[in-house]
Amino acid sequence: MDFSTPHTERSFFLIAGPCVIEGRDHAHFLASSLRDLAEARGIPFLFKASFDKANRTSKDSYRGTSLEEGLDILSEIRTRHGVPVLTDVHESAQCPLVASAVDVLQIPAFLCRQTDLLLAAGATGRAVNIKKGQFLAPWDLRHAVDKVRTVDGHGPVWVTERGASFGYGNLVVDFQGFPHLRRTGCPVVFDATHSVQKPGALGHATGGAREMIPTLARAAATAVDGFFFEVHEDPSKALSDGPNAIRLDAFGDLLDQLLAIWRASRAATLADPAAHP
């Protein structure tokens, strides 16, 4: 995969996997299943899973594996299934070790202004995916991008929309933000699953409106280079973010819809670039 231009002329690129590593066998099952869905459609695919979810609502919530075990699983997936791998980093000191096991370092939305973390991620030379904070105006994400780009030897940078805080316990997606994100010069990704979160809605955990995922994803297909999805075979049993994960058995149909919209939109853009800023 060309991380500078990860999509192709015929397809967006896809970042997908479980919210958090739930175990070695489970991670391999989802990596294999998602790779097969993507390959059948000619979609460039990256497997994603977190070794640690450091921002869970409750301290008693499942956070993931240890750093060492998580990176061992991710590295194994990378090798066995032949797919690039993406995972979150939460602290500057994690970046060099994580970069030895994965292809893309992801900056969580809540941490997108953390200068030291951004610089450390950039210094690894790996691709860096910056998720726009729920509190941040889309045009202000350029500052986070600039921080990574100031590092000698930095790799490609991507930017991801994942919804903005709207009062308490709700997120909305402002589709006017996508042209602003594109002005960073980075590939633009839409996280369709975190965008339907209901932060803290379950009292002890975050809720979500899973049924809205297809609607938002189809709308975003006209404006992005890639998609991010949390996928689980049984979201009701997921150890993290189940309420906003899409079911594995419904995912192929949605990918088909998104490809059709994305291709039609790109054809229109090529025909009249001025009509699609």
Q: Does 149 map to a domain?
A: yes
Torsion angle of C-alpha atoms 232, 234, 236, 241, degrees rounded to 10: -10
Q: Does 113 map to a domain?
A: yes
Residue 15: its pLDDT value, please? 98
Residue 9: its pLDDT value, please? 93
Q: Does 7 map to a domain?
A: no
Residue 77: its pLDDT value, please? 98
Which of 11, 12, 73 is CA-nearest to residue 48?
A: 73
Predicted TM-score of the model (pTM)? 0.94
Residues of the chain with pLDDT under 50: 201
Residue 275: its pLDDT value, please? 54
Residue 95: its pLDDT value, please? 98
Q: Does 42 map to a domain?
A: yes
Domain around 167: 13-269
Residue 241: its pLDDT value, please? 85
Q: Does 172 map to a domain?
A: yes
Q: Which residues contact 217 (CB under 8 A, 6 or more apart)?
A: 190, 192, 227, 229, 254, 258
CA 214 from centroid of its chain's CA atoms = 16
| Number of folded domains that form the chain | 1
Q: Does 274 map to a domain?
A: no
Q: Does 276 map to a domain?
A: no
Q: How far apart are CA 46 and CA 242, in angstroms?
A: 20
Tokens 């979160």 belong to 197
Q: Does 1 map to a domain?
A: no
CATH number of the domain within which 169 lies: 3.20.20.70
Model pLDDT for residues 36-87, shown as the tens digit of each residue? 999 999 999 999 999 987 776 667 677 878 999 999 999 999 999 999 999 9
CA 155 from centroid of its chain's CA atoms = 17
Residue 202: its pLDDT value, please? 57
